[in-house]
Amino acid sequence: MSKDQVSGPPVPTGNHFGTICGVFTPSILTIFGVIMFMRAGHVTGKAGVIGALLILVVSKAITTLSSLSISAISTNTAVRGGGAYFLISRTLGPEFGGTIGIALFLAQSLSVPFYILGFGEALIRTYPGLRDSFLWITLSTAAILFIITWVGAGWAIKAQYFIMAVLFLSIVAFLGGSFSRFEIEIFKTNLQPDADSDFWRLFAVYFPAVTGIMAGINMSGDLKDPMRSIPRGTLAAIAVGFVVYALEIIALGGSASRQDLIDRPYEVLKDHALLNSGFLVAAGVYSATLSSAIGSFMGAPRILQALARDHLLPIFRPFAKGTAKGDEPRRALVATMVLTIGVLLLAGNSAGGGAFNFVAIIVTMFFLLTYGMTNLAAFVESYGRNPSFRPRFRIYHWSTAMLGTVGCAGAAWLIDPISAVLAFIVVTGIYLTIQRHILDVTFGDARRGFQYSRVRKGLLHLTGMAVHPKNWRPTILVLSGRPESRPTLVLYSVWFECGRGILSLVEFLVGGQEDISGRRIDTFRKLESFVKENEIDAFPEVVVVDDFDRGVNVFLQSHSLGPIKPNIVMLGWSEDPNREAAFVNILQTVIRLGKSALVLYDQGLPAWGNRRIDLWWRGQRNGSLMIILAHMLQSNQDWENSEIRVMRAVRDEASRQEAVAELKSLIDAARVDATVEVVVSSQPFAKILHEQSEGSTVVFLGLHIGDAIDPHLFYEKTGQLLERMPTTILVASSGEADLLA
């Protein structure tokens, strides 16, 4: 994204974390949580080894599908601070994104006291004498973690490295000890589930163990290369988590009796620790809870800061400010600390409680909703065939996003239906507060009335939305005349639109008022029949004018439906030398109106088989639109095996190397499959063009139409350039289409 219409100018950050410290470490430390120590053994005993592994696979499938969606979105746009909120808001819009952003901030903020309380409970179970000091322990822990995070994300990351080391030793201790006690007979006994086990209830208990993938994503604004780090770090954390949890299930299934696993899961881990190092298991519990708390302490303020910078609600504005060094969200950190202290004081001096457990479930619901909305965002972008959705991450399909959405909704329902419904109601309330949307009621045919209402409201909403290059779509107006006599022009316009924009075919009739009700209707019916018979998704239009040139001029200015205005006018190259001035005047009118012009030099429909698209680069203004159109052409089934060549002519070898590097960098940034060919030659461009592209299927050339252009000279020179050429598209761009969006 080159510009941001919502957030304003980008805010620099001073942190440049890599994949390991910025994404993998926060994610894996959140994944390795309390469930590993307190519930994994219980689930293994109840569900059996096979059932527990199946629960793990299903749980990991949900987070893996979500990570694929996250990876696709994060590699399709310039990622800034705000993590999942930023990704969703830039895909589904500020209202939807703001709703999920607020929910995610609340979930992350409430996670801080939740993990601190978990730490306090683990501590007093190890040292019962500290029970009366529970509140002071939790408040002191919150203060220490606040100070660590206040100093900066760098210190927090360093602290997490220490915590990860302790956690690693703890895992080695109980895995090594369990495998040293492994007995095949015990393993066979524990393969099958317990007599009264409930698979989905156990799934609900175990699922929080695999969450945590958002912890690294929430650091998006502090990453050196988020497009690279987010997919790699997130998927690596999921893979490592899967391996460790699978080993734990297998190790426990072969080293302890079913009853011990069910009744004493934590004690089994301590008893099995290598070299009587049960203290390492206790340290692992502390590390798991503290690391998760730090991850939430870092993530929540960054989400609030991103919300504030988008100016969604006035109440958030004070939290937009960051520090001069590192852009640390300290004001938002203070807000998170206030919420943390409030929850800890409400919990009081007692460990846990029903009310707190209910809050913990709501937190899980909010995370699942965030995962689900992220999958939905990726689904909307991909299934909606947005031309700007060209992610570098290739292991993705809209069906995986849809499965992830359904999986998250199903998991939320299975964990606790009442809490899932409550979380959905809260999120819906937030959305309605931001949106303030009122549904219009229509009568008559229900289907048409509903569609009309949606279109009407969509147009009204679209009118108030700022235009952004990322949302550019081809809205093509074709001066088709009688389309059956210009099949190449019509077919290329269909290919360029590619089911992602709006296509209009217009035929002009020169006549008087009497022709409006008679001749026009007959012509319109013929044009409408042509569109239907050829299964073209286009809107036909017939206009009666008393003077063709004046009529075209007026029509180009007036043709629109609210904010939906043609951004491309497409016409054929005029073969009539007597209309040189009129032809150039139409092109000048198109440019003056801020639209792009496409002129087709028709050499017939392309033959079947492998096709080649040549694009001659002379500058980014016309070049951006040419590459986007070539990509749209290639996206059609008829062109799926075609090759795009980005061509350029230079005078010497030194210029060639520079041009190759520049164009390859541009193609990479544009996320389009194309090859670069730079020709070194001192011959005239026309000769180079004919030598290099005469065997191509279609050629794109940039076109400059100035106000002071000589129509005769333009027509003569361009005509000579087109002689003996294959079908050629002359492109004069308005600059609205941005290749790097």
pLDDT bin (cut points 50, 70, 90) of residue 321 is confident
pLDDT of 384 above 70: no
Query: Which helix or strand (DSSP H or E) is residue 644 part of?
Result: strand 643-650
pLDDT of 611 above 60: yes
DSSP secondary structure, 31-88, as one string: HS-HHHHHTHHHHHHHHHHHHHHHHHHHHHHHHHHHHHHHHHHHTTS---TTHHHHHH
Cα torsion at 33, 36, 39, 41 (round to 10°)?
A: 180
Query: Which helix or strand (DSSP H or E) is residue 242 part of?
Result: helix 226-253
Rg (CA), the chain: 31
Q: What percent of the chain has pLDDT over 90?
A: 28
pLDDT bin (cut points 50, 70, 90) of residue 103 is confident
Enumerate the β-bridge partners of residue 463.
none
pLDDT bin (cut points 50, 70, 90) of residue 507 is very high
Sign for the CA dihedral angle at 36, 37, 43, 49 comes to positive
pLDDT of 257 above 80: yes
Decide: 483 and 602 in contact? Cβ < 8 Å: no
Give the range among 274-283, 394-403, 454-463 with minimum mean pLDDT. Answer: 454-463
Enumerate the β-bridge partners of residue 700.
615, 729
pLDDT of 689 above 70: yes
Burial letters 628-666, b for 16+ CB under 10 A, else e: bbbbbbbbeeebeebbbbbbbbbeeeeebeebeeebeeb
Query: Which helix or strand (DSSP H or E) is residue 733 part of?
Result: none
Give the span between the Cα atoms of 641 and 612, in whole angstroms. 9
> What is the 8-class DSSP label of residue 568?
E
Tokens of 30: 């959140």
Helix runs in 593-710, H state only: 620-634, 653-670, 685-693
Nearest to 74 by CA among 297, 233, 292: 233
pLDDT of 441 above 70: no
What pLDDT does 16 receive? 73
Nearest to 123 by CA among 358, 354, 351: 351
Task: Determine the residue type at 131.
Answer: R
Best CATH choice for the domain 19-434 from the list 1.20.1740.10, 3.40.50.150, 3.40.50.10950, 3.30.565.10: 1.20.1740.10
Nearest to 374 by CA among 629, 83, 617: 83
pLDDT bin (cut points 50, 70, 90) of residue 92 is low
End-to-end CA distance of the chain: 5
> What is the 8-class DSSP label of residue 312?
S
What digits encode the pLDDT tens for the residues 154-189?
666 666 778 888 889 999 999 999 999 999 999 999
Give the span between the Cα atoms of 354 and 109, in whole angstroms. 19
Q: Start-end ranges of CATH 1.20.1740.10 in the chain?
A: 19-434
Nearest to 78 by CA among 370, 401, 480, 469: 469
pLDDT bin (cut points 50, 70, 90) of residue 15 is low
What pLDDT does 237 receive? 92
Nearest to 192 by CA among 46, 382, 39, 403: 46
Between 93 and 268, name the one with better pLDDT. Answer: 268
pLDDT bin (cut points 50, 70, 90) of residue 7 is very low
Complete edge-to-edge strand list for the sheet that includes strand 698-702: 539-545, 502-510, 475-479, 568-572, 596-601, 727-732, 698-702, 612-616, 643-650, 675-680
What pLDDT does 242 receive? 96
The tally of CA atoms less than 13 A away on the side-chain side of residue 224 is 8
Task: Determine the residue type at 214.
Answer: M
Task: Determine the residue type at 315.
Answer: I
Per DSSP, the three-state class of 477 is: strand
Nearest to 576 by CA among 605, 549, 597, 540: 549
Tokens of 688: 């180079």
Tokens of 713: 């000279």
Decide: 736 and 3 in contact? Cβ < 8 Å: no
pLDDT of 530 above 50: yes
What pLDDT does 75 receive? 81
The tally of CA atoms less than 13 A away on the side-chain side of residue 694 is 8
Cα torsion at 574, 575, 578, 583 (round to 10°)?
A: 10
Cβ-proximal residues to 24 (8 Å cutoff; 6+ apart), any chain: 216, 232, 233, 236, 237
- Neighbouring C-beta atoms of residue 145, cutoff 10 Å: 24
What digits encode the pLDDT tens for the residues 444-500?
344 454 466 677 777 887 787 777 777 788 999 999 888 888 999 999 999 999 888
Tokens of 320: 């937009």
Place of tokens 């949890």: 245
Give the span between the Cα atoms of 123 and 140, in whole angstroms. 13
Give the span between the Cα atoms of 475 and 488, in whole angstroms. 18
Cβ-proximal residues to 433 (8 Å cutoff; 6+ apart), any chain: none
Backbone angles phi, psi at 609, to 5 degrees: 110, -170
pLDDT of 604 above 70: yes
Cβ-proximal residues to 90 (8 Å cutoff; 6+ apart), any chain: 1, 77, 97, 470
Nearest to 711 by CA among 581, 589, 611, 613: 581
Task: Determine the residue type at 81.
Answer: G
- Neighbouring C-beta atoms of residue 355, cutoff 10 Å: 10
Between 291 and 153, name the one with better pLDDT. Answer: 291
Q: Is 515 exposed, middle or buried (0-12, 13-18, 19+ CB in 10 A)?
A: middle
Nearest to 630 by CA among 680, 598, 672: 672
Decide: 141 and 120 in contact? Cβ < 8 Å: yes
What pLDDT does 499 receive? 85
Best CATH choice for the domain 469-732 from the list 3.90.1300.10, 3.40.50.1220, 3.40.50.12370, 3.40.640.10: 3.40.50.12370
Find the mean pLDDT for residues 699-719.
87
What pLDDT does 436 receive? 59
Nearest to 53 by CA among 190, 226, 180: 190
Between 602 and 347, name the one with better pLDDT. Answer: 602
Nearest to 76 by CA among 669, 737, 738, 627: 669
Decide: 656 and 650 in contact? Cβ < 8 Å: yes
Decide: 178 and 252 in contact? Cβ < 8 Å: yes
What pLDDT does 156 receive? 63
Decide: 294 and 89 in contact? Cβ < 8 Å: no
Cβ-proximal residues to 636 (8 Å cutoff; 6+ apart), any chain: 495, 498
Highest mean pLDDT: which range of 44-48, 97-101, 672-676:
44-48
Between 392 and 55, name the one with better pLDDT. Answer: 55
What digits encode the pLDDT tens for the residues 115-146?
888 788 778 877 888 888 888 998 999 999 89
Cα torsion at 154, 156, 161, 165 (round to 10°)?
A: 170
Per DSSP, the three-state class of 545 is: strand
The tally of CA atoms less than 13 A away on the side-chain side of residue 64 is 13
Decide: 648 and 722 in contact? Cβ < 8 Å: no
Q: Start-end ranges of CATH 3.40.50.12370 in the chain?
A: 469-732
Give the range among 227-236, 468-477, 678-687 with minimum mean pLDDT. Answer: 468-477
Give the range among 56-65, 355-364, 441-450, 674-683 with minimum mean pLDDT. Answer: 441-450
Sign for the CA dihedral angle at 702, 707, 709, 714 comes to positive
